Structure 1
Amino acid sequence: MLQWRNESDGIVAKILNIPIFCTTQNAARLGATVPEITSLLPTDETAKTEVDKTAFSMMVPELQAQLPTNPTSALSVIIVGIETHICVTQTTLDLLAAGHRVYILADGVSSCNAGERPIALNRLAREGAIVTTSESLLFELIRDAKDANFKAIAGLVKETKDETKAAVETFCKL
């Protein structure tokens, strides 16, 4: 979903009021998160939405401290990121083990070794994650064309349809 943005409407997460959290794997050794991602993060000083980590799961204490603490209400979490077979997998397994509902956007995850990606996505689906596409999830979230956010979401879908189509077609080949 990080690709879904335009200048007039902002990003989908802002339109739908979805919080964004980002972790960077060992920035000192592997480099910082790219500006295309960090520019999407909220600038609210009270919440640390970007966390540097060495663990492969993003469920580190610094990020967990930002999540709601009510143990009886499960979160719905949307995952995008790199190294599907490592960080995405371990994060998803941790979230599932904690009782959360996890959506993995197939057109929003990758691996440096393309063959690892479909194996990881199949495993995560068997474990209980919902593997879907960004467009499918967007319309699932708004549910009805009468939703107040429909026009903004439909505009973003139309504006990014070529990029989304290319991403889905590329990933379906892997």
Structure 2
Amino acid sequence: MSDPINHLGLLLIDYQDIFLNTIPDREQLLQRTHFALKAAELLGLSIAVTEQLPGKLGPTTETLSSTWEINTPVFEKSAFSALEAEGLQRWIETNQIEHLLIAGIETPICVYQTAIQALGEDIGVTLLSDCISERRPQDRKPVLEQLLAMDAHVLPSETIFYSLMGSAGHPKFRAYTQLVKAG
């Protein structure tokens, strides 16, 4: 049986300063997303990034872009669903991704539409609850309730990565706990 980690992908959606500047919990969001990014890299997950019209709205915030691995693909998009970004479907197929861990902004717009499309294409979805945000916090609950009703999962990043390791006997456990302590 193949390792389920091999079929997981972390998707970071639209962490651009123009959007981040409107997010009430920006610093906490960036801290938790950095943690998830580093945990995913540590465990060898496939990682991809999208940017909404970066020529017009700017690139991913340097807080994240300066820390990810050099070969992390960044996909430009104009649609709200990240899966409409040119090349992203090919990334999913090439990496044999069956389940996406989704982080990004905004929850009721791009995160929601990406999750809906992924679920419709039989790709599993887990929203990293500490790595998603929105301008209007009151929009979060109904969006997450709808996605849960559609079989998406919503869990904190730390929960997901501990689950992927399974036990303290995992070869990356010590390095992971260092990330937990730092994050």
Q: Please, what TM-score do these two structures have when normalized by structure 1?
A: 0.79
**What CA distance in whole angstroms lies between the structure 1 residues aligned with 2:97 and 2:60?**
28
Structure showing greater relative contact order (alpha-carbon pairs closer than 8 Å, 6 or more residues apart): 2
Aligned to 2:92: 67
Does the alignment pair 1:43 with 2:70?
yes
Q: Which runs of 5+ in 1 are unaligned?
A: 161-174
Q: Which residue of the partner structure matches residue 32 of structure 1? A: 59
CA offsets per residue over residues 64-91 of structure 1, 9 Å max, x none? 1222259xx6612110001100100010
Give the drift of 1:129: 0.7
Q: Distance in 2 between matches of 1:97 and 1:40?
A: 32
Query: For each residue in 1:78-106, what CA deviation from the matched residue of structure 2 results, as whole angstroms up to 9, or x when unmatched?
Result: 10001100100010111111111111011
Q: Which moved more, 1:31-40 or 1:106-115?
A: 31-40
- Post-superposition Cα deviations, 1:78-137, rounded to whole Å, max 9, x if no partner, equal 100011001000101111111111110111000111111122111111111110001111
2:80 paired with 1:56: yes
Q: Equivalences for 1:1-174 in 2 at 5 Å?
A: 2-4=33-35, 11-44=38-71, 49-60=73-84, 61-68=86-93, 75-160=98-183
Determine what percentage of the aligned residue pairs are the same residue: 30
1:142: how far off? 0.5
The answer as to whether partners of 1:20 and 1:41 remain within 8 angstroms in 2 is no
User: Which has the higher Rg, Structure 1 or Structure 2?
Assistant: 1
What is the CA RMSD across the aligned residues, in angstroms?
A: 2.0
- Residue 54 of structure 1 and its aligned partner are, at CA, apart by 0.6
Distance (whole Å) between structure 2 residues aligned to residue 42 and residue 52 of structure 1: 18
Following the alignment from structure 2 to structure 1, what is the Cα–Cα distance between the partners of residues 68 and 178? 22
How many residues of Structure 1 are paired with residues of Structure 2 in the alignment? 151
* 8 Å contact from structure 2 (residues 128, 157) kept in 1: yes
Q: Normalising by the residue count of structure 2, what TM-score does the alignment of the two structures yield? A: 0.75
Contact 2:34 2:64 in 1 (8 A): no
Secondary structure in structure 2 of the residue aligned to 1:68: helix
